[in-house]
A and B are shown apart, each in its own frame.
Chain A
Amino acid sequence: MNDLDAENRLRFEQLVLPHVDAAFNLARWLLRSREDAEDVAQEALLRACRFFRGFHGGDARAWLLQIVRNTCYSWLEKNRPRDLMVEFDEELHPQPVATPESIAIADEGRERLNRALETVPPRFREVLILRELEGCSYKEIAEITSIPIGTVMSSLSRARRQLHSALANSSHKEATREV
């Protein structure tokens, strides 16, 4: 039997399923879309379940997020390869997305941050999400993203600078609009 027996199944539910929120959150921020995140995170969880036998203890969250991340990237390659090619341009203006959903979000600041975050390229956005929203340590980030631990800090540093300048950019835009 290649699939999980009852005991492994229970282990999977106890170790991996508590991290469903983390999986969804990472997919949502990598794909910039809730609908796509649902599909891709689900695919990642099924994959995790299929390969659970290969997981021998350790940090279940890091293991799952690694699978989520890889699944997201292969999905992006297939469906939105341009996303992966975009390099951050300091002059790039965050595109205001006027969906009914974004209009419904009352909190202007949140929406501004949201748009600014989405202009940060995925490779940098992910370290920011893992650190700031998921609370991962540098070691965990290195494990999840397969980048050397020594470069986690420089990636974070670049990511924060990019977010900072995207935010400055958008507040500048708003100020000019008000005038």
Chain B
Amino acid sequence: MRCDFADSHLHGYFDGELSDPSAAEFERHLQHCVHCAVELVDLDLLSGQLQTARLYEAAPASFRKKIRTNLRPVVPTPAHAPSLLLSWRWQAAAALFLAALIVWRVIPAFHGAEDYQAQFAAGIVDAHLRSLLPGQITNVNSNDPKTLRAWFDGKIKFTFPIRDFRDQGFSLQGGRVDVVQGRTVAALVYANRKHLVNVFAWPTPEPDVSPRAGSRQGYQWIDWRKDKMEFCAVSDAPTSDLEQLQDLLTE
């Protein structure tokens, strides 16, 4: 027999979508409801199956190519028909010029950026997935920033802020040194309800940029640069949660 809580709380709890008081209420209920406890494990199994089965289907290369070719002619469309008689030559010339400008300057610049971004996202998400393998998430387990700082000191040549945000819902779990796309990076691990968040940090010569977000294979990431350091937070948590963590980290 299903219990009432299973309908009203179970899935929200599993997805980390309950408010704190409701989550606490459900946890009390879990202590004596075998039905919900078992169903929670079933949910976790099912979700695990869906994640590991690689069901996510990214757009094939042929599709991306089609999109690009089809979107291209949209840009330089001249104005509407009524004015056509007077100035179509001029408009056609202007449209041609615009098209040429876009094809030569804007599109290559953008595609370069898009390829870089896709590669970057792939590298970050891969590193996150690798870290989720058993025993890989942290090299050092501690929620004490001082301990972590001392541990990182001997391993990497750069420094970056290490803080715990337990009270704001992101509790520090530990850290590790990782390699992402051939670059040595520091990784801090935070737990947010049921989600683990990796925050990667590495030095960069580039100027500060405001956060850019994206998602890949069901994982969200936010990347930003501040004071010659680049940071990237990645998790299966919703983007809004990552934004909250990003705010805390840049405060």
Binding site for B on A (CB under 8 A): 1-6, 9-10, 13-14, 17-25, 28-29, 34, 37-38, 41-42, 45-46, 49-50, 59, 61, 107, 109-110, 113-114, 117, 128, 131-140, 153-154, 156-157, 160, 163-164, 167
| Contact pattern, B 236-249, Cβ under 8 Å of A = 1, otherwise 0 | 11111100000000
**A113-B74 in contact given A41-B63, A135-B218, A156-B15 (Cβ < 8 Å):** no
**A6-B102 in contact given A1-B77, A45-B71 (Cβ < 8 Å):** yes
Pairwise interchain contact A49-B10, C-beta atoms closer than 8 A? no
Closest to A28 in B: B57
B162 to chain A, nearest CB (A): 26
Other CB < 8 Å A-B pairs besides A6-B106, A132-B47, A137-B240, 13 of them? A1-B77, A3-B77, A5-B75, A6-B98, A10-B106, A19-B215, A20-B63, A23-B59, A24-B58, A109-B49, A133-B217, A139-B240, A167-B46
**A154-B7 in contact given A6-B75, A22-B215, A24-B58 (Cβ < 8 Å):** yes
B155 to chain A, nearest CB (A): 31
Pairwise interchain contact B218-A133, C-beta atoms closer than 8 A? yes
A-B contact pairs, 19 of them (CB 8 A): A1-B77, A1-B78, A9-B106, A13-B114, A22-B215, A24-B57, A25-B56, A34-B57, A37-B57, A38-B63, A45-B67, A61-B215, A135-B236, A137-B238, A139-B240, A157-B10, A160-B11, A160-B43, A164-B46
A88 to chain B, nearest CB (A): 16
Pairwise interchain contact A110-B55, C-beta atoms closer than 8 A? yes
Cα–Cα, bound, A9→B64 (Å):
17
Find chain B residues with CB under 8 A from A23 CB. 59
Pairwise interchain contact B114-A18, C-beta atoms closer than 8 A? yes
B218 to chain A, nearest CB (A): 4
| Contact pattern, B 1-19, Cβ under 8 Å of A = 1, otherwise 0 | 0000011001110010100
Best-buried of B6, B218, B219, B241 by chain A (most CB within 10 Å): B218
B53 part of interface (Cβ distance < 8 Å): yes
Cα–Cα, bound, A18→B116 (Å):
12
**A134-B49 in contact given A10-B106, A24-B63 (Cβ < 8 Å):** no
| Contact pattern, B 41-75, Cβ under 8 Å of A = 1, otherwise 0 | 01100110111011111111011101100110011
Report how many residues on chain B are interfacial, defined by Cβ distance under 8 Å: 55
**In-complex Cβ contact of A160 among B46, B60, B98, B214 (8 A):** B46
Find chain B residues with CB under 8 A from A14 CB. 110
B78 to chain A, nearest CB (A): 8
Best-buried of B55, B98, B214, B239 by chain A (most CB within 10 Å): B55
A9 to chain B, nearest CB (A): 5
Pairwise interchain contact A9-B17, C-beta atoms closer than 8 A? no
Closest to B216 in A: A21
B147 part of interface (Cβ distance < 8 Å): no
B14 to chain A, nearest CB (A): 9
Cα–Cα, bound, A118→B216 (Å):
22
Find chain B residues with CB under 8 A from A139 CB. 238, 240
A101 to chain B, nearest CB (A): 12
Cα–Cα, bound, A35→B122 (Å):
25
Cα–Cα, bound, A114→B55 (Å):
8
